Amino acid sequence: MKIKELVIGALLTALAIMIPVAFGGVLGITIPPFSATLASHVPVMLSMAISPWVALIVAAGSAFGFLLKLGPIVAARALMHVIFAVTGAILIKKGYSLRTTLLITLPIHALSEALIVIPFGFSLYDIGIVVGVGTALHHFIDGIITLSVFGLLKVGMQSAQVFKA
């Protein structure tokens, strides 16, 4: 891992921890056992564009932030971000666009979060509809935010190149 990747990964991890801790109540929606904090997936989704290792670290950081704020069930769901983030990073390395990668990883994300709550004794409705569909909608909304932020970052980086010359 390059120093630049490490630094960006550390910044994204800090955001992934801070978003649920600082904004979980303000930007959060809770329909037990589902909860969603708007923009909480953005650091994880952005990390996929860097590398699989960075995606893994940022996703684990996200789970830690949710553990601090919302407890073990939500943290277990957030830990599933590792699966879709690393998968997404591998797809991007293979040449897929971020937009396509976000669409491909949507069902992986929703299914993994639905499956992880099975041991906690929730009903099939709670598992499939509330968590599964809720996660899919949350992934889609955060994906739109991510694509917007990513586009702005790309433009900013291209502008910065002008100042280096």
Parse the chain into domains and list their residue ranges: 3-164
pLDDT, one tens digit per residue, over 80-137 is: 999 999 999 999 999 999 999 999 999 999 999 999 999 999 999 999 999 999 999 9
CATH placement of domain 3-164? 1.10.1760
Which residues contact residue 41 at a Cβ distance below 8 angstroms, ignoring those fewer than 6 apart?
A: 62, 81, 138, 139, 142, 143, 146
Short-list 36, 29, 89, CA closest to 58: 89
pTM greater than the 0.85 cutoff? yes
Is 164 a residue whose pLDDT tops 80?
Answer: no
Can you give the pLDDT at residue 45?
A: 98
pLDDT, one tens digit per residue, over 45-65 is: 999 999 999 999 999 999 999
